[in-house]
Amino acid sequence: MKDINDYSLLPHNTFGMDVRAKRYVEYESEAELQQVLPSIDADRCLHIGGGSNLLFTADYDGVVLHSAIKGIEVVDETDDSLLVRVGAGVVWDEFVAYAVAKGWGGVENLSLIPGEVGASAVQNIGAYGVEAKDVIVVVEAISLASGEKRVFGNLECAYAYRQSIFKRELKGAYAITYVTYRLSRKPVLNLSYGGLQRIQPQPSNIQEVRQAIIDTRNAKLPDPKQQGNAGSFFMNPVVTRDKFLSIQSQYPDMPYYDVEDGVKIPAGWMIEQCGWKGRSMGRAAVHDKQALVLVNLGGATSAEIVALSDAVCRSVMEQFGIDIHPEVNFI
List the catalytic residues: 162, 232, 327
Nearer to ligand EPU, 143 or 273 (CB): 273
DSSP state of 260: T
Nearer to ligand EPU, 12 or 277 (CB): 277
Residue 227 DSSP SS3 = coil
Least distance to ligand EPU, CB of residue 279, Å: 12
Least distance to ligand EPU, CB of residue 130, Å: 8
Contacts with ligand EPU by CB under 6 A lie at 127-128, 193-195, 220, 231-232, 235-236, 255, 266, 268-269, 272, 277, 290-292, 327
Which residues are CB-contacts of 83 (< 8 A; sequence separation ≥ 6)? 74, 75, 76, 77, 137, 180, 181, 182
Alpha helices in the chain (DSSP H): 30-36, 92-102, 117-123, 194-197, 206-220, 241-250, 267-273, 302-320
CA distance 128 to 109: 6
Q: Which has the closest alpha carbon to 194: 247, 261, 264, 251?
A: 264
CA distance 80 to 163: 29
**DSSP of 198-225:** T-SSPP-SHHHHHHHHHHHHHHHS--TT
CA distance 208 to 203: 5
Return the bridge partners of 246, or none: none
Least distance to ligand EPU, CB of residue 255, Å: 3
Nearer to ligand EPU, 34 or 236 (CB): 236
Least distance to ligand EPU, CB of residue 53, Å: 7
Nearer to ligand EPU, 72 or 91 (CB): 91
CB 233 within 8 A of CB 328: yes
* Helix axes of 92-102 and 206-220: crossing angle, nearest 10 degrees: 150
Nearer to ligand EPU, 195 or 282 (CB): 195
Nearer to ligand EPU, 138 or 213 (CB): 213
Least distance to ligand EPU, CB of residue 14, Å: 10
Least distance to ligand EPU, CB of residue 38, Å: 36
Nearer to ligand EPU, 80 or 225 (CB): 225
Least distance to ligand EPU, CB of residue 225, Å: 16
CB 162 within 8 A of CB 122: no
Distances (CA, A) of 177 to 118, 142, 143, 216, 236: 7, 7, 11, 31, 29
- One-letter amino acid for residue 319 of the chain: Q
